[in-house]
Chains A and B, each alone.
Chain A
């Protein structure tokens, strides 16, 4: 990314993080997470990607691109096995696993593909992840409410961590604004 791109990207990411914080429940609210699994999964992926790219950590970027570079392997499954090259990404994806394993309605993704020609590919990645993960979890260990509980717990913890990270970023980048501003 050149300088102009990075400056724009950071502004867009800050707005996106605000969305993530407002839309996704913080830690400890499993029921709320279960209610919005697909938004949680998409938002989580987007946030992790943005954080990786902005940190300019080559390993983080490689982790962010895992799905694109390895079309036949699931980022989520690789992370669960601890195979992603970036430890933070491993942990993040492990937490986020709950989003897909709690029986996600893939319907909303199909509708996204219908309505957003521009997102066919991105939505396709997410759907593939979802399918692979469901095969693994729902297929093998399904039915166990306890498994799902644990996964939801992990997601919930992960979202809490993400919120903390976003807050830290907000405080680090907050600059005093002249005048009363927008609010």
Chain B
């Protein structure tokens, strides 16, 4: 029971981020890096995923401001992984 309506643009943004986060997670999973590094980043990914699924489905009970802030954090997370992920040669 959402306590407020989530506008379609926001749900759409969340849906797009689901695809991006999934790719980022896959990149982490396949990275030749230490186990702690991989596990830590995936645990962050899990919290982001729960958030995104709720927002995409319009079931999130967070405020509009919290949702925008969360989406921005997840975008930064994906940016970092897409451009800077250290992978041992």
Name A residues whose Cβ lies closer than 8 Å to a Cβ of B: 1-2, 4-5, 7-9, 11-13, 15-16, 18-20, 22-23, 35-36, 38-39, 42-43, 45-46, 49-50, 53, 61, 65, 68, 108-109, 111-112, 115-119, 122-123, 126
Contact = CB atoms under 8 A, between A and B. Distances in A.
Nearest to A43: B47
Interface size range of chain B in the complex: 35 or more
A61 to B, nearest CB: 7
A169 to B, nearest CB: 15
Interface of B: 3, 18, 21-22, 25-26, 28-29, 33-34, 36-37, 39-51, 53-54, 57, 59-62, 66, 69-70, 73-74, 76-77, 80-81, 84-86, 88
14 contacts: A1-B33, A11-B84, A19-B77, A22-B73, A23-B62, A42-B46, A46-B40, A53-B40, A61-B36, A116-B22, A118-B22, A119-B49, A122-B42, A122-B46
